[in-house]
């Protein structure tokens, strides 16, 4: 019995396929080849898009790059009438508002993620994680609306006068409380990116192997000690990545910031003063750009923003991916 | 450290992180509360059926903007979804070495590119050659924003299909392309639909890329090559205008928009409840 099986197997191995089967195999190979080409084209579209994005923007920004060169980055005259363009106030506004947002959002986001992934009782985790996702789904323009009509008046009547009277000896907290301005923009940005940082950090923490936790717990560590020694340390690079992803968001966030930052192209020390960001100058002036050079200068601002966010996001992804298995889709 | 201080620290940190979690979701309650408080009174039948009224006249609605948003998102989905899903299948099924890694990385990077920059891209690509703002340009911008989300979600879900299913089908002599189209994709369907809905919810609220592509319009839809109204654009225009009536309309618009976004997000969640546990 056994020997027959072996012999049959042996003959089958030597047998060539009947012609009919071969023809069908060839045809399906053709189908497979076509299908694979289609798939490759679809994937190539992503690649092509990123290249086209960069190329198209570089092309349209070229006149401004040629005219102003490096001066574009270090001068702060933005005068469409005289066609003098220096983007320093916008770069400054973008960096400062994002920095403020990060100062608030990173500790809060990572804290919330630790709660959701490590310390909270099991039953409370899914509903809170769900609420965090909902906060992340609120459209930017709704935050902006809320910022104009709720947050800005609140800042003007309570928070800024309070900060002015207690920390007013610092130049950061001097000047009249307008309500709208850099600080308000930073706070609204923090509110917007914090759910995002929470979600990514939570993914990172969930990707930390359980053996890490078990080892620490077995040595008698408390939950918090386990988290601090075994989990946070293991996921450190991923958490930095989560923060950077949040930073990438904050740098490019447009609508809400445009609505509360005050839109004045100035480099001011005080956080109460109105400012302007790269994204909001594009949003406000793009349709009003009357001359080609003006448009080109705005597109150059966009190109700068693109390059900065690509660099920040690229680094962030590599860091998040480095925590094994955390290659999860990050949902908005 | 004594055992007691360690226990105390444990408690304190538990409390602090719980506080952080509370602070993260607090804005949701505040914003939603204000939307209901300010917007609910202006949401009525007229809001869904009428054009905006000129300044000073009471009533009117944002029907054109609601329809405009639906058209824009629908058109964007037609452009972005097929490419996105096929790209995702490629990432999950490809046996190449470098290309999938590069595409995955670029998709994630593209996902992080500010939406206003994507707007500039659509402007250069569609508005400049056509010499006018159009619904088409807006839809292209939204499709580019959708694409990376759809690519990455479909990849995740195609990966989750057990390889035993694939192997069983292949062992029957079915060609690979048929296995993917008839076995793998139908199995992953529920999850992919979720991913699609998440992408739709995201772009439905996008404002920045529409400012200089779709541009906005105070009247009904006039063809895909004409400027078109969109709900987020209308909210923005009304919010920064100096009229109280318009502010009320803006709150109402925001309430409707957030309602639409939440319904889509909730539907996405309910659609996959119980299946693919561990994958959201």
How far is it, in rounded angstroms, from Cα B7 to Cα B3?
6
pLDDT for A20 equals 55
Using the predicted structure, report yes or no on whether residue A325 has a pLDDT greater than 90: no
Complex ipTM, two decimals? 0.89
How far is it, in rounded angstroms, from Cα B239 to Cα B135?
23
Please tell me whether residues A19 and A122 are part of one structural domain. no
How far is it, in rounded angstroms, from Cα A310 to Cα A316?
10
- Contact by Cβ (8 Å): A43, B105: no
How far is it, in rounded angstroms, from Cα A18 to Cα A7?
20
Share of chain B above pLDDT 70, in %: 96
Please tell me whether residues A120 and A19 are part of one structural domain. no
pLDDT for A55 equals 93
Residue where the block lists tokens 């980055």: A73
- Candidate from A130, A227, A259 with C-beta closest to B240: A259
- Contact by Cβ (8 Å): A62, A246: no
Q: What's the pLDDT band for A25 if we cut at 50, 70, 90?
A: low
pLDDT for B98 equals 85
Least confident of A9-23, A79-93, A162-176: A9-23
For B195-225, the pLDDT digits (tens) are: 888 889 889 999 999 999 998 888 888 888 9
Chain A CA closest to residue B103 = A47
Domains in chain A: how many in total?
2
For A132-157, the pLDDT digits (tens) are: 888 888 999 999 999 999 999 999 99
In this prediction the pTM is 0.89
Please tell me whether residues A52 and A137 are part of one structural domain. no
pLDDT for A114 equals 95
For A50-94, the pLDDT digits (tens) are: 999 999 999 999 999 999 988 898 888 898 888 889 999 999 999
> Average pLDDT, whole number, for chain B?
89
Listed by start position, the domains of chain B span 65-271
Asked if B109 and A115 come within 8 Å (Cβ–Cβ), the reply is: no
- Candidate from A111, A287, A314 with C-beta closest to B20: A111
pLDDT for A15 equals 52
Asked if B254 and A248 come within 8 Å (Cβ–Cβ), the reply is: no
In a domain, A301, yes or no: yes
For B129-178, the pLDDT digits (tens) are: 999 999 999 999 999 999 999 999 899 889 989 989 999 999 998 888 89
Please tell me whether residues A143 and A260 are part of one structural domain. yes
How far is it, in rounded angstroms, from Cα A103 to Cα A187?
10
pLDDT for B176 equals 87
How far is it, in rounded angstroms, from Cα A71 to Cα B58?
51
Share of chain A above pLDDT 70, in %: 89
Using the predicted structure, report yes or no on whether residue A16 has a pLDDT greater than 80: no
Q: Helix, strand or coil for residue A85?
A: strand
Using the predicted structure, report yes or no on whether residue A45 has a pLDDT greater than 80: yes
Least confident of B17-21, B85-89, B219-223: B219-223
For A82-135, the pLDDT digits (tens) are: 888 999 999 999 999 999 999 999 999 999 999 999 998 899 988 888 888 888
Q: Is the dihedral of CA A47, A48, A51, A56 positive or negative?
A: negative
Domain at A163, CATH number: 1.10.3720.10
Chain A positions in Cβ-Cβ contact with residue B95 (cut-off 8 Å): none
- Contact by Cβ (8 Å): A256, A180: no
Q: Nearest CA to B209 among A291, A255, A196? A: A255
Q: What's the pLDDT band for B238 if we cut at 50, 70, 90?
A: very high
Q: Helix, strand or coil for residue A78?
A: strand
Q: What is the DSSP letter of B61?
A: -
Chain B positions in Cβ-Cβ contact with residue A101 (cut-off 8 Å): none
Judging by DSSP bridges, how do beta strands A84-85 and A78-79 pair with one another?
antiparallel
- Contact by Cβ (8 Å): B149, B202: yes
Cα distances (angstroms) measured from residue B39 to each of B235, B255, B266: 12, 6, 21
Please tell me whether residues A145 and A42 are part of one structural domain. no
In a domain, A97, yes or no: yes
Using the predicted structure, report yes or no on whether residue A8 has a pLDDT greater than 60: no
Please tell me whether residues A160 and A307 are part of one structural domain. yes
- Candidate from B10, B124, B207 with C-beta closest to A224: B10
Please tell me whether residues A55 and A73 are part of one structural domain. no
Please tell me whether residues A16 and A133 are part of one structural domain. no
For B217-230, the pLDDT digits (tens) are: 888 888 889 999 99
In a domain, A55, yes or no: yes
- Contact by Cβ (8 Å): A287, B211: yes
Asked if A224 and B14 come within 8 Å (Cβ–Cβ), the reply is: yes
Share of chain A above pLDDT 90, in %: 59
Please tell me whether residues A292 and A145 are part of one structural domain. yes
Asked if B124 and A60 come within 8 Å (Cβ–Cβ), the reply is: yes
Phi-psi bin for B55: left (phi > 0), alpha (psi -120 to 50), beta? beta
Q: What's the pLDDT band for B257 if we cut at 50, 70, 90?
A: very high
Long-range contacts of B273-280 (CB under 8 A, 24+ apart): B275/B190, B275/B191, B276/B157, B276/B160, B276/B190, B276/B191, B279/B156, B279/B157, B279/B160, B279/B191, B280/A133, B280/A331
Chains A, B: CB contacts within 8 A come to: 293
- Contact by Cβ (8 Å): B212, B121: no
Please tell me whether residues A219 and A155 are part of one structural domain. yes
- Number of other residues whose CB lies within 10 A of the CB of residue A203: 24
Please tell me whether residues A121 and A260 are part of one structural domain. yes
Domain B65-271, CATH homologous superfamily name and number:
MetI-like (1.10.3720.10)
Q: What's the pLDDT band for A22 if we cut at 50, 70, 90?
A: low
pLDDT for A257 equals 94
Please tell me whether residues A48 and A73 are part of one structural domain. no
- Candidate from A141, A279, A332 with C-beta closest to B202: A332
Mean pLDDT of the B78-95 span: 92
Highest mean pLDDT pick, A21-30, A199-208, B138-147, B240-249: B138-147
Per-position DSSP letters for B214-268, written without gaps between them: TB--SSS---TTS-B--HHHHHHHHHSSS-HHHHHHHHHHHHHHHHHHHHHHHHH
In a domain, A328, yes or no: no
Residue A83 structural domain: 69-322
Chain B positions in Cβ-Cβ contact with residue A223 (cut-off 8 Å): 10, 14
In a domain, A327, yes or no: no
Asked if B112 and A313 come within 8 Å (Cβ–Cβ), the reply is: yes
Angle at CA B251, nearest 5°, toward B246 and B256?
Answer: 120
Least confident of A27-31, A137-141, A240-244, B192-196: A27-31
- Contact by Cβ (8 Å): A258, A284: yes
Asked if B109 and A313 come within 8 Å (Cβ–Cβ), the reply is: yes
For A252-275, the pLDDT digits (tens) are: 999 999 999 999 898 988 899 999
């Amino acid at each position: 019995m056994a020997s027959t099986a072996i012999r049959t197997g042996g003959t089958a191995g030597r047998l060539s396929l009947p012609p009919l089967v071969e023809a069908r195999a060839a045809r399906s190979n053709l189908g497979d080849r076509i299908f694979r080409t289609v798939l490759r084209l679809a994937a190539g579209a992503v690649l092509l898009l990123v290249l086209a994005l960069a190329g198209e923007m570089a092309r349209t920004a070229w006149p401004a790059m040629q005219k102003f060169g490096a001066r574009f980055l270090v001068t702060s005259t933005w005068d469409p009438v005289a066609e003098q363009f220096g983007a320093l106030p916008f770069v400054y506004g973008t960096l400062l508002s994002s920095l403020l947002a990060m100062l608030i959002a990173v500790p809060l986001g990572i804290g919330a993620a630790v709660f959701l992934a490590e310390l909270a009782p099991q039953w409370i985790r899914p509903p809170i994680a769900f609420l965090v996702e909902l906060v992340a789904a609120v459209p930017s323009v709704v935050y902006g609306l809320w910022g104009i009509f709720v947050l800005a008046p609140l800042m003007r009547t309570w928070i800024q006068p309070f900060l002015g009277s207690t920390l007013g000896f610092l130049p950061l907290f001097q000047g009249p409380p307008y309500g709208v301005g850099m600080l308000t923009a930073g706070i609204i940005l923090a509110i917007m990116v914090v759910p995002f940082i929470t979600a990514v950090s939570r993914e990172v923490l969930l990707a930390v192997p359980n053996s890490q936790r078990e080892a620490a717990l077995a040595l008698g560590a408390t939950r918090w000690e386990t988290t601090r020694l075994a989990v946070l340390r293991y996921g450190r690079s991923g958490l930095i990545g989560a923060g950077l992803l949040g930073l990438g968001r904050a740098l490019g966030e447009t609508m809400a910031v445009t609505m509360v930052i005050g839109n004045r192209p100035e480099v001011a020390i005080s956080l109460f003063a109105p400012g302007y960001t790269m994204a909001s100058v594009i949003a406000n002036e793009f349709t009003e750009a009357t001359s080609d050079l003006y448009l080109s200068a705005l597109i150059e601002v966009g190109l700068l923003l693109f390059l900065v966010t690509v660099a920040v996001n690229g680094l962030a992804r590599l860091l998040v991916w480095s925590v094994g298995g955390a290659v999860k889709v990050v949902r908005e | 450290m004594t055992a007691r201080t360690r226990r105390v620290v444990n408690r304190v940190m538990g409390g602090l992180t719980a506080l952080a979690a509370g602070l993260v979701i607090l804005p949701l309650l505040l914003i939603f509360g204000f939307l209901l408080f300010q917007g609910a009174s202006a949401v009525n039948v007229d809001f869904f059926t009428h054009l905006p009224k000129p300044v000073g006249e009471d009533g009117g609605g944002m029907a054109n903007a609601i329809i405009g948003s639906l058209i824009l998102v629908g058109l964007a989905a037609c452009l972005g979804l097929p490419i996105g899903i096929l790209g995702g299948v490629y990432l999950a099924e490809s046996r190449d070495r470098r290309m999938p890694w590069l595409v995955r990385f670029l998709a994630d990077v593209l996902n992080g590119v500010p939406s206003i920059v994507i707007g500039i891209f659509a402007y250069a690509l569609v508005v400049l050659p056509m010499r006018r703002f159009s619904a088409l340009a807006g839809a292209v911008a939204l499709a580019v924003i959708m694409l990376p989300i759809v690519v990455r979600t479909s990849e995740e879900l195609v990966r989750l299909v057990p390889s035993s299913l694939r192997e069983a089908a292949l062992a029957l002599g079915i060609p690979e392309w048929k296995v993917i189209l008839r076995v793998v994709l139908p199995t992953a369907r529920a999850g992919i639909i979720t991913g699609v809905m998440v992408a739709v919810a995201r772009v439905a609220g996008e404002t920045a890329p529409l400012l200089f592509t779709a541009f906005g319009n105070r009247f009904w839809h006039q063809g895909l090559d004409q400027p078109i109204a969109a709900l987020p654009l209308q909210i923005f225009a009304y919010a920064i205008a100096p009229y109280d009536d318009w502010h009320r309309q803006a709150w109402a618009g925001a309430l409707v928009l957030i309602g639409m976004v939440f319904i889509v997000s909730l539907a996405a969640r309910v659609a996959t409840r119980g299946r693919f546990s561990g994958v959201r």
